[in-house]
Amino acid sequence: MNGASATGPEAASADRARSALMRAGTPRTYEAGEIMLLAGGTDTFVLVLLNGFAKVTTTDSRHAAVLVDIRAGGDVMGETAAFDSEPRSATATAVERMSVRRISQDEWLAWMNRHQAANLAISRSLAHRSRTAVRRRIQFTRGPVIARLSSAVLDLTEQYGARTPEGLSVRPGLTHAEWGELIGAGERRVQHALQELRTAKVVSYGRCRLTVHSLPALRRIAADP
């Protein structure tokens, strides 16, 4: 339930809502590679992610999986189906071992009805997600591949980057193919762009590992038309 911070009575109300949510449902653990939500599924439970990362994928016109988003600890997944009872629109897969709270549709809706602050937080979260999707569609799919890749790397680094002695480690680790799915580019073009960034000493990379050495340089490249 990530979102803008509240203060005063609003913060206290949000804390009560969050505490109630953490008591709702049942604890569940997903192992790396395990499907958490399946596109087309008719289940309506909600998942509150307590830690780790999940990859969200859909299918393209050739029925191939395409990475469209990353979710992390503190996020909520599956709430749309809980609201409208329609089939799941995407598949979510655990990147690593994850702990969650699995909450039934009835319990989720009851929680929403009991806590006004929850309605506001979820509405803000959905609005932020929608705005982010539009922004990414523009930044990740237009312009030179190296600029689009830099935008995607910058986006994940600013959200989930972990400080290391070498720089900022981008989390979660993505394959070259998955970076390509995010920006609408072929794997070979992603490899070429990564080589350019490495030659410029902006990043270093290995198998499912990417470290950013210069955020200012990455921002300049991302902004290059």
**Which CATH number do you get for residue 47?**
2.60.120.10
**Residue 178 belongs to a domain:** yes
pLDDT confidence bin for 4, thresholds 50/70/90: very low
More confident residue, 114 or 153: 153
Q: The CATH number of the domain where 156 resides is what?
A: 1.10.10.10
In a domain, 204, yes or no: yes
Please tell me whether residues 146 and 204 are part of one structural domain: yes
| Residues 8-57 pLDDT 10s | 656 677 778 888 888 889 999 999 999 999 999 999 999 999 999 999 99
User: Are residue 110 and residue 37 in the same domain, yes or no?
Assistant: yes
Q: Do 66 and 88 sit in the same domain of this protein?
A: yes
- CA distance linking residue 94 with residue 52, whole number of Å: 8
Residue 225 has pLDDT above 70, yes or no: no
Specify if 59 maps to a domain. Answer: yes
My answer on whether 105 and 154 are in the same domain is: no
Establish if 135 belongs to a structural domain.
no
Using one digit for the tens of pLDDT, what is the confidence trace for 171-218?
A: 999 999 999 999 999 999 999 999 999 999 999 998 889 999 999 999
- 156, 139 Cβ separation under 8 angstroms: no
What element of type H or E holds 156? helix 145-160
pLDDT on residue 8: 60
Nearest to 56 by CA among 157, 149, 178: 178
Enter the DSSP assignment of 95: S
Is the separation of the CB atoms in 79 and 108 below 8 Å? yes
In a domain, 2, yes or no: no
Query: Structure pTM?
Result: 0.84
Residues 105, 149: one domain?
no
Domain ranges, residue 151: 140-223
117 and 148 share one domain: no
Tell me, yes or no, whether 166 and 108 share the same domain: no
pLDDT at 6 over 60: no
Same domain for 85 and 180?
no
E strands within 31-96?
35-37, 46-49, 53-59, 65-72, 76-77, 91-94
Q: Establish if 3 belongs to a structural domain.
A: no
The tens digit of pLDDT for each residue in 78-90 reads 999 999 999 999 9
